[in-house]
Amino acid sequence: MKTSASGIKQIREHEGVSLKAYPDPATGGDPWTIGYGSTLGVYPGMVISMDEAEERLIRDLERFERGVLDAVKVPLSQRQFDALVSFSFNVGLANLRSSTLLKKLNARDYTGAADQFLRWDKANGKRMQGLANRRAAERSLFLSGT
């Protein structure tokens, strides 16, 4: 399964794009981010082109798509898959793997899993409105695929 065009559009909108590396808003430091939320190999002062941002997005998506497919043991619709890739892209695959969201999903509790998206609205212990908005959108996308 691959992320759909509308799923990629949603990730782009939530992540935004920055051609200059910036620190994590919650920590003021690591992980440094560039492009559409890419963190691998990013360092302070790094600058990339728009083409490089797009290339990083495609590489990152492939990694998160594989991670979601490896972690999820139940059937998914395209919209559910897109929501999970977006979620993982933002919180990381390790957090997906250890989440109650995944446990509920793999137990075929799709509604319970959907409700778990909303719990992930904090960064460094502080509720962030941008994350709350993103999680609500991911939950809605996930539920539209059930």
Range of the domain at 17: 5-144
The b-or-e profile of 65-86 (16+ CB within 10 A means b, else e) is: bebbeebbeeebeebbbbbbbb
pLDDT tens readout for residues 19-41: 999 998 778 888 999 999 999 99
62 is catalytic: no
pLDDT for 100 equals 98
Residues of the chain with pLDDT > 90, as a percent, come to 90
pLDDT tens readout for residues 38-69: 999 999 999 999 999 999 999 999 999 999 99
Burial class (CB in 10 A: 0-12, 13-18, 19+), 141: buried
CB 44 within 8 A of CB 21: yes
pLDDT for 47 equals 98
Closest by CA to 119, choosing from 107, 141, 102, is 102
Which of 15, 52, 54, 138 does the annotation list as catalytic? 15
pLDDT tens readout for residues 105-145: 999 999 999 999 999 999 888 899 999 999 999 999 999 97
Closest by CA to 96, choosing from 75, 113, 78, is 113
| CATH number of 12's domain | 1.10.530.40
Residues of the chain with pLDDT > 70, as a percent, come to 100
Q: Tell me if residue 126 falls in helix, strand or coil.
A: strand
Domain count within the chain: 1
d(CA 113, CA 126): 22
pTM of the model: 0.93
